[in-house]
Amino acid sequence: MPMIPPATSIPARQALAMSLLALLLAGCTVGPNFVKPAPAAPGDWTSWRSGDVSLRAPIDSGAQLPADWWRAFNDPVLDELERRAFAASPDLRTAALHVAQARVQRGNAAAQGLPQVNASGQVKRQRQSEYGAGTRLFDAVAGNATGTDRDALAELLGEPFTLYQTGLDASWEIDLWGKVRRSLEAADADVTRQAALLDLARLSLASDVARNYLDLRATQHKIALAREDAAALSDRADLLSARTTGGINNHFDLERQRSELQRIEAQLPALLAQEAAQANQIALLLGERSGALGDVLKPVVDAGKPILPDLALGLPSEIALRRPDIRAAEARLHAATANIGVAKADLYPSIQLGGGFSFESYRSQNLFDWASRTWSIGPSVSLPLFDGGRRKRVVQLRELEQKEAAVNYQQTVLQAWQEIDDALNAYAAEQQQNVKLIAQLESARAALDLASARYRGGIITWLDVIDSQRTRSRRPATSLRATGA
């Protein structure tokens, strides 16, 4: 008598054949491949510039601006503020959490390509219907049984019983069309984007702290000049009052002087309020309460001459690749391109390998007997036939998002060079203005020395000396501002 092969051997071979076929197809990846764009950049720092030629100051292209560029101002207070801002800034902590979230999402995307294994177990009390599907089968098989015997057997089958089940099941969807690979590619791009945004947050934070700090120092300088001017005007008004009483001057000169004094004094409250607001803004950047930096930000008696360091930016092309906003826009374009492949993979069939092994028994003492085992193994195929065009519209949506990301990248590059050009022009103008202001200050000091000497020689009156003091005090305050090119 020929040996009959087990009933499970042929299906098992079929399942193995389908699995091997699926593995051979797993190398196919649908969707467009990302091509890294080359950001447009000028060949040197004299090109792509607007404004007057006098603003095109020479720039060191052989070195790069250091990461801690604010140290070039040689201000220990600014250095301490930057350190505290990086340690406690809420904005920086939020950006860092976004990076952590993107990395977790990347782990989820990678897990999609791994087998899924689950354990299950249940105990349930149940009763079968005496006239259910099982009883119908019983009637068909035992059709010759008498009505009494049939009812007795049906009642026996319908008695409540407890069913015990426990086991494992596993499944693995083969990445036939590269859906998992594209998802992982998009997740990696999002991690890169969030890391670039973190760098952008660091740069913005450093620039905001430096800008607000320098604005605060300028405001404090204006307050000091206003008080100095008010003191000189008060002395001049007292001297004019004495001369008016003595009949040398008239009341018109005196009242005009008092009006000028009141105008200067009226400016002080607004300047003081501006100083407080700028200090509070710095405290907010550092994650501190209002007024917490009073001792740190107190006015400096002698700040010395303002320092504007020379720019060392490196090559323009390196700037374009180093700017975090351009890197973030590129990563967004990369993710959008990969998501097209994810959407296209849903248009094709999917194959999932699955299997399970469990024990099932209505007797608790026999639950783990080998005879209580159940198992299943084999692939399952899912072929999308009709969904009203939903999957195709998802592909169209992803393609439109990719085009939007490409437009955003181009706009980001253009805006970056506009910001760089504006910053370079403003920096060159600030350098030239500071040179003129320092020369003006030296001339005012020389005029005051000459006026004092002429007064000691009896050539001019003390009023002329006060006017020279006011001329020196009314010099414009320098407005050093950090530029984030």
Task: Please name the amino acid found at residue 176.
Answer: L
* Rounded Cα gap, residues 103 and 406, in angstroms: 24
pLDDT score of 166 more than 90: yes
* Rounded Cα gap, residues 410 and 418, in angstroms: 13
List Cα–Cα distances, 247 to 202, 459, 467, in angstroms: 66, 21, 21
* Average pLDDT of span 225-238: 78
Question: Could you tell me which of 346, 446, 333 has the C-alpha nearest to residue 392?
Answer: 346
Residues linked to residue 171 through DSSP beta bridges, in sequence order: 116, 354
The two tokens of residue 137 are: 């089968």
- Over residues 179-200, the pLDDT tens digits come to 999 999 999 999 999 999 999 9
Total residues found in the chain within this entry: 485
- Residue 481 makes CB contacts below 8 A (sequence gap 6+) with 211, 214, 215, 426, 430
- Residue 25 makes CB contacts below 8 A (sequence gap 6+) with 174, 176
List Cα–Cα distances, 250 to 234, 240, 253, in angstroms: 17, 9, 6
The whole-number pLDDT of residue 483 equals: 42
Task: Please name the amino acid found at residue 240.
Answer: L
DSSP 180-248: HHHHHHHHHHHHHHHHHHHHHHHHHHHHHHHHHHHHHHHHHHHHHHHHHHHHHHHHHHHHHHHHHHTTS
Instruction: Find out whether 430 and 57 touch, Cβ atoms under 8 Å.
Output: no
Q: What is the DSSP letter of 63?
A: S
Between vectors from CA 147 to CA 144 and to CA 152, what angle results, nearest 5°? 110
- Over residues 60-110, the pLDDT tens digits come to 766 777 888 898 888 999 999 999 999 999 999 999 999 999 999 999 999
- Over residues 24-57, the pLDDT tens digits come to 554 588 999 999 998 888 877 778 888 788 787 7
- Over residues 402-412, the pLDDT tens digits come to 999 999 999 99
pLDDT score of 116 more than 60: yes
What mean pLDDT, rounded, does the chain reach? 82
Q: What is the DSSP letter of 375?
A: E
* Rounded Cα gap, residues 324 and 330, in angstroms: 10
3-class DSSP state of 166: strand
Continuous H helices in 286-352: 316-322, 324-345
pLDDT score of 6 more than 70: no
List Cα–Cα distances, 71 to 74, 166, 457, 484, in angstroms: 5, 67, 48, 14
* Rounded Cα gap, residues 438 and 1, in angstroms: 115
- Over residues 319-364, the pLDDT tens digits come to 777 899 999 999 999 999 999 999 999 999 998 999 999 999 888 8
* Rounded Cα gap, residues 142 and 471, in angstroms: 121
Instruction: Find out whether 434 and 428 touch, Cβ atoms under 8 Å.
Output: no
- Over residues 129-143, the pLDDT tens digits come to 777 776 776 666 665
Return the axis-axis angle of helices 390-456 and 324-345, rounded to nearest 10°. 170
Question: Could you tell me which of 308, 250, 285, 338 has the C-alpha nearest to residue 30?
Answer: 338
- Over residues 244-278, the pLDDT tens digits come to 776 666 666 667 777 777 887 888 899 999 999 99
Q: Is the dihedral of CA 417, 423, 427, 430 positive or negative?
A: positive
- Over residues 276-319, the pLDDT tens digits come to 999 999 999 999 998 889 889 998 876 555 566 666 677 777 77
Q: What is the DSSP letter of 478?
A: P
The whole-number pLDDT of residue 484 equals: 42
Task: Please name the amino acid found at residue 379.
Answer: P
- Residue 366 makes CB contacts below 8 A (sequence gap 6+) with 372
Quickly count: other Cβ atoms within 10 Å of residue 482's Cβ: 21
* Rounded Cα gap, residues 52 and 434, in angstroms: 18
Label residues 270-298 b or e (16+ Cβ within 10 Å = b). ebeebbeebbbbbbbbbbbeeeebeeebe
Q: What is the DSSP letter of 256?
A: H
* Average pLDDT of span 216-224: 90
Domains of the chain: residue spans and CATH: 27-113+175-348+384-473 (1.20.1600.10), 116-174+349-383 (2.20.200.10)
Instruction: Find out whether 70 and 324 touch, Cβ atoms under 8 Å.
Output: no
3-class DSSP state of 360: strand
* Rounded Cα gap, residues 181 and 160, in angstroms: 51
- Residue 182 makes CB contacts below 8 A (sequence gap 6+) with 29, 30, 31, 338, 339, 340, 341, 342, 345
pTM for the structure as a whole: 0.79
Residue 480's pLDDT band (boundaries 50, 70, 90)? very low
Question: Could you tell me which of 321, 309, 315 has the C-alpha nearest to residue 63?
Answer: 315
pLDDT score of 482 more than 50: no
| Most trustworthy range by pLDDT among 88-97, 440-449, 475-484 | 88-97
Burial class of 124 by CB neighbour count within 10 A (0 to 12, 13 to 18, 19+):
exposed
- Over residues 445-470, the pLDDT tens digits come to 787 777 777 767 777 666 666 767 66
